[in-house]
Amino acid sequence: MYSSASRGKNIAVTGQLYLGVQHHHLKNRLEVTIVEAKGLAPANSNGTSDPYVKTYLLPDRSQESKRKTRVLRKTLNPVFNETLTYKIRKVHVRTRQLYVAICNQDRFGRNSFLGRVRLDLSEHDLTTNTPEWYDLQELNDGLSFNLGELLLAIRFMPHTLTEAQLAKKKKKKKEPKGDFQVLIKRARNLIAMDHSGLSDSFVKCYLLPDRSRSSKHKTMTIFMDVNPIWEEMFQLRDVTLDSLQHRVLEVTVWDFDRAGSNGFIGGLRLGLSPSEREESKKLLLLMDSNDTESAHWKEMMENPGTFIGKWHALRSSMDLRH
């Protein structure tokens, strides 16, 4: 959630933030009123800061969840008087946490973290917008959310070749081709996205990089279920095992919305870790698989012809980590 995964200068957090939160049921709108802050730590050489505030509705840490105030110059006691709004139903608000961070804008370097407030909206009084003072906290808040898990199986299925065909390929030093197959099996304990406390979920897959989106696959939508079962398979034909060292499988889970934009639930990326291969800087941006994700990919590559299935915890954001 912090810009470019960096905190900028290491500044000890001080001060308080005065803010109010209210939900308007008829308008399906959450209002976060940022009134003022006081006693902020100085981040500039002149003993002041250039603060601004940004908010997220956790567990969504994507750009769609981000809201931001204007920047106020040369002050440790900024008065914002700004209201940041989210279009969201009350039943969904109760499953979220409001993350509010104050940062210092640096025109020539990285912005610095000045403190944060985190509110559990499942317990917060949303009937009034009466502001309250909150002590600013350090960033070490151990952000983690259970968005649900996805079970999928992957395999590289070599093409069956005659002895003559195999000998011909070896003579030409060509690696035998095969099909890369992905079986989307099921999910469990998905976060509820609908009024009913359930979700209407579907899955999208891409084998990246893929400029033409020829590898795109989308499952059917399973309605009103937080433990959906798809059992759908797709495959990308005529690939080599070596080429899969340079590809990343991106899988995302979505909530279908008839009236508006589909809601992002979570996702994952399967591929080898950057330490296991040398790539261009551009391609390395996609290679952010965690240990579980990269282990799954590696096991698949070491066992051609065999489906390798594993459960994966969904990420709250697909923003690149590098």
Q: Do 161 and 295 reside in the same domain of the chain? A: yes
pLDDT at 208 over 90: no
Q: Is residue 305 part of a domain?
A: yes
Amino acid at 49: S
Tell me: do 119 and 15 sit in the same domain: yes
pLDDT of residue 2: 38
Tell the residue number behind the tokens 């500039």, with chain if given: 44
**Which residue, 71, 100, 135, sits at the end of a domain?**
135
In this structure, are 224 and 199 located in the same domain? yes
Same domain, 86 and 174: no
pLDDT at residue 134 above 50?
yes
- 3-class secondary structure for the chain? CCHHHCCCCCCCCCCEEEEEEEEECCCCEEEEEEEEEECCCCCCCCCCCCEEEEEEEECCCCHHHCEECCCCCCCCCCEEEEEEEEECCHHHHCCCEEEEEEEECCCCCCCEEEEEEEEECCCCCCCCCCCEEEECECCCCCCCCCCCEEEEEEEEEECCCCHHHHHHHHHCCCCCEEEEEEEEEEEECCCCCCCCCCCCEEEEEEEECCCCCCCCEECCCECCCCCCEEEEEEEEEEEECCHHHHCEEEEEEEECCCCCCCEEEEEEEECCCHHHCCCCHHHHCCCCCCHHHHHHHHHHHHCCCCCEEEEEECECCCCCCC
Q: Residue range 134-142: average pLDDT?
A: 78
Tell me, yes or no, whether 31 and 71 share the same domain: yes
Q: What is the mean pLDDT of residues 115-122?
A: 91
* 125 and 16 in a common domain: yes
Same-domain status, 108 and 184: no
> Do 68 and 97 belong together in one domain?
yes
pLDDT digits (tens, 9 = 90+) for 4-46: 333 456 788 999 999 999 999 889 999 999 999 999 999 998 9
CATH number for the domain that contains residue 131: 2.60.40.150
Task: Classify residue 158: in a domain, yes or no.
Answer: yes
- Residue at 142 is within a domain: no
Residue 303 lies in a domain: yes
Q: Are residue 187 and residue 228 in the same domain, yes or no? A: yes
The verdict on pTM exceeding 0.85 is no
Q: Mind listing the pLDDT tens digit for each residue in 177-207?
A: 899 999 999 999 888 776 566 789 999 999 9
Q: Assess if residue 23 is contained within a domain.
A: yes
User: Half-sphere exposure (CA, 13 Å, Cβ side) for 280?
Assistant: 5
Of the residues 135, 165, 180, which one is the last residue of a structural domain?
135
Do 114 and 156 share a domain, yes or no?
Answer: no
Cα radius of gyration rounded to whole Å, the chain: 24
Q: What is the mean pLDDT of residues 271-292?
A: 67
What's residue 62's pLDDT? 65
Q: What is the pLDDT of residue 68?
A: 95
Domain count, the chain: 2
Give the end of a domain, one of 83, 101, 135: 135
Domain residues for the domain of 169 are 149-313
Residue 97 covered by a domain: yes
pLDDT over 60 (residue 322): no
205 inside domain:
yes
Tokens of 151: 């079970």
322 within some domain: no
Judge if 68 and 205 occupy the same domain. Answer: no
Q: Are residues 191 and 306 in the same domain?
A: yes
